[in-house]
Amino acid sequence: MRIAMIGTGYVGLVSGACFSDFGHHVTCVDKDAAKIDALHRGVMPIFEPGLDRLVERNVRGGRLSFTTDLGPAVADADAVFIAVGTPSRRGDGHADLSYVFGAAEEIARALAKPAVVVTKSTVPVGTGDEVERIIRETAPEAQAWVVSNPEFLREGAAIEDFKRPDRIVVGTDDERAADIMREVYRPLYLNKAPLVFTSRRTAELIKYAANAFLATKITFINEIADLCEVVGADVQDVSRGIGLDNRIGPKFLHAGPGYGGSCFPKDTLALLKTAEDHQAPLRIVEAVAKVNEARKRAMGRKVIQAMGGEARGKTVALLGLTFKPNTDDMRDAPSISIVQALQDAGARVRGYDPEGTEQARPLLPDVDFCDDPYDAAENADAVVLVTEWDVLRALDLKRLAATMAEPVLVDLRNVYPPEDVMSAGLQWYGVGRTAPNPG
């Protein structure tokens, strides 16, 4: 099949590359000429493990191409995917759908044969109805079926998620559109990935509900971690104890500094705004969003307490800056709030991240960026593990202790056993756990 992918951001580029790897012919369209030029040169606009090789292989095979010219790509397509950004709108928190609606209008003008127009972007309930209206009004003669097909990709594991999904959700009531979508995803037949057909509005809500539920699990275990610290329990044992219950499951039960990234903060807020507009308040999701936002800054206070309650004039090294490993995404990363809290208290901050430094620079002013975790730790009064990159999971703790001004390690991801940290001569502070008695 011939596919046009409108938008070469995280979702559009990964989806387009994977579809082409299935054997479809994919044209990725973006208005950013510099980005398209970079893609022609094999330079990826995002860091995602394996994406550069996937793109190179399919460009070489003639199945994947990039352009700024939407018209020919859409005119030749059997399926047109809208994968543009839907950031939070300034002032009210609603999803900004201007890029989606703009794309829909351009697509309508370019349609030259029957095609499905698929909303891949994360959009509020009812967006597909508006996309359909725009197409009908812009091009009354066009034969197009508007479908919702939300993405469920984890940054850092997106290619694996696309090729071996838990499920594929398709929102349409039109059997012709359903048949085209079956053909689009036919290469996944051998993987037996469930193809779930729903109404369009249901599909739109599934995406938001899934992200809100995962955000709730994260926030729940983070609050349990706070309780563990004051009662002397171990949150890792609690997580394991409840996660072994099949009704709960072990995923997203790792205590830490709070969630961030491109999805959970934005999508929970957009879901709350949709609920508010329809007078169906979501009190649990409201609490999740508030608790998570407060938690990220509270981690800065946790570091200050580990340094004896005083940060002025001290140096703190943050190891890992992106919101999670295996991505360069800094959107709503906990490190941003932690840095702000430390700088407000008078601390000097150094930072190290294996992939996210360039994205972090404009977001973390007055931070000294280092090329090595040990350089960041030199003469520091505290080292804080914020993001659990593989390269930070096996640090030489004795070397770390020897290079620091004060031997304080704050492990916000509970990567290191406290006994190992303390035996290396470091003071250990974790999340939801208390230090073992040295005796």
- DSSP H/E element including 67: strand 64-67
Contact 439, 422 (CB under 8 A): no
**Which of the residues are catalytic?**
263
Separation CA 202–CA 206 (nearest Å): 6
Contact 341, 386 (CB under 8 A): no
Give which of 207, 209, 134, 204 is closest to 172, Cα–Cα.
Answer: 204
Contact 186, 213 (CB under 8 A): no
How many other C-beta atoms are found inside a 10 Å radius of the C-beta of residue 279? 6
Sign of CA dihedral 355, 358, 364, 366: positive
Separation CA 49–CA 148 (nearest Å): 27
Residues 6+ apart with CB under 8 A from 22: 187, 188
The DSSP letter of residue 338 is H
For the chain, first and last CA: distance in Å?
68
Contact 95, 123 (CB under 8 A): yes
- DSSP H/E element including 396: none
Contact 385, 415 (CB under 8 A): yes
Cα 149 to its chain centre, rounded Å, is 18
Sheet with 408-411, strands from edge to edge, namely 368-369, 348-352, 315-319, 382-385, 408-411, 427-429
Residue 29 dihedral angles phi and psi, to the nearest 5°: -115, 135
Residue 191's SS3 state is: helix
